[in-house]
């Protein structure tokens, strides 16, 4: 690094040596920051245990792709994403420069050893490029906020955002001025690049007194700005600068697995309380989530409940929790309860747990687990929940299914089919987990029958559990009734463990997710396949012959619990293609798939505002095809109801992928 003739640390300021002033400023600034930081750390240290150190390889990879490479940022939001990437990378590049500048303020001849020589020259060029880009990006971001005004920023702290953008722009400009004025004073130091070169050209020929004053003023204002910025962090959403990368690193690796009430106490019977009453009941990752939220609003922008006009906005939930926690007396037991106080019942009960918010979040905030934890408090501690779900709770506990049909009728649907039950599982290759929808719902029984016919066609020896099967407990867990979930799960685990290692295949993504991801919290690991994967496997092995033939177009609706929760997007599509279908994508598909409206217990809850299934049918109608395929009983029933509610959809049919393969494989619908 080149030494300029006028160094701030060597000049006197306010009657004291610059180096003393600089050292004092920096130490005071950092100390103030640490004091303010401690308030936030306190909340973090008071939080609950959360195991987030497994699979370090995956975590480092995520840190690289989602953290440093910002993979999620430009997806769906290219302009905002690009602007952020520039500013973020600029920050990374300018870290060195900041250290250097801080050093220069304390010691006149300060220099970072590795910034001498060749690397230093390259670094200077790169830094200058990024300084300019960041400056432009700040302008772009400012323009977006002030003029474009995206809907998703509604409710965010706008003033704070403007202040920080101005501050960053100012830091860039002051750095350029400091550098540029120095270059005029000391021609031997080089000609500068871009920003500082522009400043240099502008100021060449100015008197050296003016230049010295400008150089000192720009330096000290830069340092003041830097310290102001540092001290703004613990008071604003810009705290994400510090916590976002750790938050991405400690992200949840299995999205389908809902957090147990307490990671260190998996069995609900061992708990004194359940759910979140005060912020201290959150886990440390959940607190880190609150700190990492950037208020970008992508979650809310993609939230089906929000789109339907419900009160819920995932962004506001996170913001409200954080603002309550860091402001005033929040976070203690003396204040408002979190569930039903800071966050209203309406917000808590609005969620369908579709996971779209989490999928969109660039900093890996986990909204759904917090909603579930808040529901746990309301259900478990206060018995406060929408009254319409009580029957489902009672039915599941008494009869083993939310509809209240009873175990005796579990295999009624299969009375015409020749199936072996649990009594004779010896030669069964797989276990077909029928689920409550397959067993009891009149329409979905057709899907179960179609799937069985495919299994028989492929010569698979399979077995069903009949009356031994029970509700998987998904709806209970997602609505916060953890006691009921564990009660149901334990009954099923007892049965499943008798099968020891037999592969389970489900047609329901909710059962699939519960068996695959959640039963292991209670000590049961089973190999589970969704029927989309299994049928594809059978077709791949040549056991299941699917006649191809005429191609025609159908649309496919993604199930949240299959897609976002378990990453199965391609299997159902590939299967449809094998059956001769050309899959036409609906608006909002795959990661951005729009919830049918039945998840999170909503099959048994009354919807407020617009109906999600009818909104989804709008997308299906827009595709203008005769068949929409699904791979989930909830989606199937919801779409069917949505279609019934409209007139212009008379010819539209909803089929499960298994039905499509069984009935339509190779022939036009």
Partner 1 sequence: MNIIVCVTEVSRICGHGGVNDVTGELDPKYRVQMLNPYDEAAVEEALRIRENRGIGSVTVVIVGPARTERVLHWCLSMGADSAFHIINENMEDTDAWGTSQVLARFLSTREYDLLLFGRHTIDYGSGQVGTFVAELLGLPVVTSAVRIEVAADGKKATIHSALERGNRLVVETLLPAVLTADKVLNRPRYPTLPARLAVRNKPIQRVALPLPDSGAETVELPRTDIVKVAPAKLRPKKILSPDSNLSPSEKLKFMMRGGITEKKGGSVGGTPAQLAAGIIDFLRERKLLD
Angstrom distances, CA of residue 495 to CA of 239, 281, 488: 49, 34, 11
| Residue 563 Cα to chain centre, angstroms | 13
Does 393 participate in binding partner 1 (rule CB under 8 A)?
Answer: yes
Which is nearer to partner 1, 81 or 473 (by Cβ)?
Answer: 473
Q: What is the DSSP string of 213-240?
A: HHHHHHHHHHHHHHHHHHHHGGGSGGGH
Q: How far is the CB of 393 from partner 1 (least distance, A)?
A: 7
- As a whole number of angstroms, the distance between CA 364 and CA 293 comes to 9
Number of residues near partner 1 (by CB under 8 A)? 26
Does 381 participate in binding partner 1 (rule CB under 8 A)?
Answer: yes
Q: How far is the CB of 277 from partner 1 (least distance, A)?
A: 12
Tokens describing residue 45: 């240290």
Tokens describing residue 297: 């609003």
Which is nearer to partner 1, 207 or 272 (by Cβ)?
Answer: 272
Of the chain, the end-to-end C-alpha distance in Å amounts to: 73
- As a whole number of angstroms, the distance between CA 10 and CA 5 comes to 10
- As a whole number of angstroms, the distance between CA 407 and CA 470 comes to 7
Residue among 390, 527, 585, 626 that touches partner 1 (CB under 8 A): 390
Which is nearer to partner 1, 46 or 407 (by Cβ)?
Answer: 407
Q: How far is the CB of 606 from partner 1 (least distance, A)?
A: 11
Residue among 55, 208, 273, 332 that touches partner 1 (CB under 8 A): 273
Does 25 participate in binding partner 1 (rule CB under 8 A)?
Answer: no
Q: How far is the CB of 500 from partner 1 (least distance, A)?
A: 23
Q: How far is the CB of 340 from partner 1 (least distance, A)?
A: 14
C-beta separation of 528 from 504 below 8 A: yes
Which is nearer to partner 1, 66 or 281 (by Cβ)?
Answer: 281
Q: How far is the CB of 402 from partner 1 (least distance, A)?
A: 14
Q: How far is the CB of 44 from partner 1 (least distance, A)?
A: 27
Residues counted in the chain: 669
Strand partners, 654: 628
Which is nearer to partner 1, 95 or 408 (by Cβ)?
Answer: 408
- The set of residues, in sequence order, having a beta carbon less than 8 Å from that of 478 and lying 6+ positions away, is 258, 353, 372, 375, 599, 600, 601
- As a whole number of angstroms, the distance between CA 660 and CA 669 comes to 9
- As a whole number of angstroms, the distance between CA 437 and CA 439 comes to 5
Which is nearer to partner 1, 400 or 597 (by Cβ)?
Answer: 400
Residue among 34, 398, 461, 667 that touches partner 1 (CB under 8 A): 398
Q: How far is the CB of 355 from partner 1 (least distance, A)?
A: 26
C-beta separation of 484 from 493 below 8 A: no
Does 408 participate in binding partner 1 (rule CB under 8 A)?
Answer: yes
Which is nearer to partner 1, 74 or 406 (by Cβ)?
Answer: 406
User: Kind and range of the H or E element at 65?
Assistant: none
Place of tokens 């640390």: 9
Does 407 participate in binding partner 1 (rule CB under 8 A)?
Answer: yes
Which is nearer to partner 1, 268 or 455 (by Cβ)?
Answer: 268
Stretch that binds partner 1, among 159-167, 318-326, 402-410, 534-542 (CB under 8 A): 402-410
Does 372 participate in binding partner 1 (rule CB under 8 A)?
Answer: no
Place of tokens 């150190």: 53
Phi/psi region, residue 187 (left: phi>0; alpha: psi -120 to 50; beta: rest), is alpha
Nearest Cα residue to 454 out of 188, 663, 193: 663
Phi/psi region, residue 331 (left: phi>0; alpha: psi -120 to 50; beta: rest), is left
- As a whole number of angstroms, the distance between CA 484 and CA 397 comes to 7
CB atoms inside a 10 Å sphere around CB 54: 8
Does 333 participate in binding partner 1 (rule CB under 8 A)?
Answer: no
Q: 3-state SS of 456-500?
A: HHCCCCEEECHHHCCCCCHHHHHCCCHHHHHHHHHHHHHHHHCCC
Which is nearer to partner 1, 188 or 383 (by Cβ)?
Answer: 383
Of residues 120 through 179, those in contact with partner 1 by CB under 8 A are: none
Tokens describing residue 22: 């600089």
Which is nearer to partner 1, 250 or 487 (by Cβ)?
Answer: 487
Residue among 103, 404, 666, 669 that touches partner 1 (CB under 8 A): 404
Stretch that binds partner 1, among 391-399, 568-576, 612-620, 633-641 (CB under 8 A): 391-399
Does 399 participate in binding partner 1 (rule CB under 8 A)?
Answer: yes
Does 271 participate in binding partner 1 (rule CB under 8 A)?
Answer: yes
Residue among 151, 269, 647, 648 that touches partner 1 (CB under 8 A): 269
Q: Give the long-range contacts of residues 167-171, CB within 8 A, separation 24 or more.
A: 167/225, 167/228, 167/229, 167/232, 168/87, 168/134, 168/138, 168/229, 169/134, 169/135, 169/138, 169/139, 169/142, 170/221, 170/225, 171/222, 171/225, 171/226, 171/229
Does 422 participate in binding partner 1 (rule CB under 8 A)?
Answer: no
Which is nearer to partner 1, 10 or 495 (by Cβ)?
Answer: 495
Stretch that binds partner 1, among 264-272, 337-345, 490-498, 582-590 (CB under 8 A): 264-272
Q: How far is the CB of 645 from partner 1 (least distance, A)?
A: 15
Which is nearer to partner 1, 201 or 265 (by Cβ)?
Answer: 265
Residue among 130, 219, 483, 556 that touches partner 1 (CB under 8 A): 483
Residue among 109, 333, 346, 382 that touches partner 1 (CB under 8 A): 382
CB atoms inside a 10 Å sphere around CB 130: 23
Which is nearer to partner 1, 184 or 274 (by Cβ)?
Answer: 274
Stretch that binds partner 1, among 12-20, 62-70, 266-274, 527-535 (CB under 8 A): 266-274
Does 406 participate in binding partner 1 (rule CB under 8 A)?
Answer: yes
- What residues line the site for partner 1 (CB under 8 A)? 268-269, 271-274, 380-383, 385, 390, 393-394, 398-399, 404-409, 412, 467, 482-483
């Amino acid at each position: 690094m080149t030494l300029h003739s006028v160094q701030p640390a060597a000049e006197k300021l306010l009657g004291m040596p610059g180096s003393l002033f600089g050292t004092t400023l920096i130490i005071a600034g950092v100390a103030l920051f640490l004091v303010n930081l401690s308030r936030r750390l306190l909340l973090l240290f008071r939080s609950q245990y959360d195991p987030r150190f497994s699979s370090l390889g995956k975590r480092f990879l995520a840190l690289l792709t989602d953290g440093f490479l910002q993979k999620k940022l430009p997806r769906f939001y290219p302009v905002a994403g690009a602007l952020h990437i520039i500013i973020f990378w600029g920050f990374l590049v300018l870290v060195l420069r900041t250290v250097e500048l801080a050093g220069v303020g304390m010691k006149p001849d300060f220099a970072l050893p590795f910034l001498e020589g060749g690397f230093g020259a390259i670094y200077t060029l790169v830094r200058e490029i990024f300084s300019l880009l960041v400056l432009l990006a700040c302008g772009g971001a400012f323009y977006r906020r002030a003029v474009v005004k995206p809907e998703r920023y509604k409710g965010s702290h706008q003033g704070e955002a403007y202040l920080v953008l101005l501050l960053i722009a100012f830091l860039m400009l002051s750095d350029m001025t400091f550098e540029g004025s120095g270059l005029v004073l000391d021609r031997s130091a080089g000609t500068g690049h871009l920003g500082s070169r522009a400043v240099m050209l502008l100021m060449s020929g100015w008197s050296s007194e003016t230049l010295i004053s400008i150089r000192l003023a720009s330096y000290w204002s830069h340092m003041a700005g830097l310290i102001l910025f540092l001290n703004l962090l613990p008071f604003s959403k810009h705290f994400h600068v510090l916590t976002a990368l750790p938050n991405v690193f400690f992200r949840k690796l299995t999205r389908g697995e809902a957090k147990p009430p307490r990671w260190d106490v998996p069995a609900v019977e061992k708990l004194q309380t359940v759910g979140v009453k005060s912020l201290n009941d959150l886990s440390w990752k959940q607190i880190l989530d609150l700190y990492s939220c950037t208020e970008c609003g992508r979650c809310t922008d993609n939230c089906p409940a929000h789109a339907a006009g419900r009160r819920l906005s995932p962004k506001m939930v996170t913001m409200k929790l954080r603002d309550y926690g860091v402001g005033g007396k929040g976070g203690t037991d003396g204040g408002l309860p979190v569930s039903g106080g800071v966050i209203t019942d309406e917000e808590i009960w609005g969620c369908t747990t579709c996971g779209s918010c989490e999928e969109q979040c660039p900093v890996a905030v986990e909204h759904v687990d917090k909603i579930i934890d808040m529901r746990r408090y309301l259900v478990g501690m206060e018995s406060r929940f929408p009254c319409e779900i009580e029957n489902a709770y009672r039915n599941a506990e008494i009869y083993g299914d939310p509809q209240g049909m009873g175990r005796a009728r579990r295999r009624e649907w299969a009375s015409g089919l020749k199936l072996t039950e649990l009594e004779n599982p010896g030669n069964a290759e797989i276990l077909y987990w029928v689920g409550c929808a397959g067993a009891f719902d009149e329409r979905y029984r057709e899907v179960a029958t179609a799937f069985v016919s495919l299994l028989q066609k492929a010569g698979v020896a399979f077995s069903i559990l009949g009356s031994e099967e029970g509700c998987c407990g998904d709806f209970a867990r997602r609505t916060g009734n953890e006691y009921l979930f564990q009660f149901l799960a334990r009954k099923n685990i007892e049965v499943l463990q008798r099968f020891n290692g037999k592969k389970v295949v489900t047609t329901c993504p909710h059962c699939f997710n519960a068996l695959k991801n959640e039963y292991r919290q209670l000590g049961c690991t089973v190999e589970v396949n969704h029927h989309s994967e299994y049928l594809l496997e059978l077709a791949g092995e040549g056991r299941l012959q699917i006649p191809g033939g005429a191609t025609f177009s159908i649309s496919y609706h993604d199930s949240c619990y299959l897609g976002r929760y378990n990453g199965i997007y391609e299997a159902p599509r590939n299967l449809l293609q094998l059956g001769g279908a050309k899959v036409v994508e609906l608006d909002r598909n795959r990661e951005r798939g729009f919830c049918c409206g039945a998840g999170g217990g909503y099959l048994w809850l009354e919807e407020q505002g617009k109906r999600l299934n009818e909104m989804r049918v709008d997308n299906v109608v827009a595709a203008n095809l005769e068949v929409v395929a699904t791979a989930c009983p909830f989606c199937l029933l919801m779409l069917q109801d949505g279609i019934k509610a409209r007139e212009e959809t008379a010819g539209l049919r909803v089929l499960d992928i298994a039905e499509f393969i069984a009935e339509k494989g190779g022939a036009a619908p």
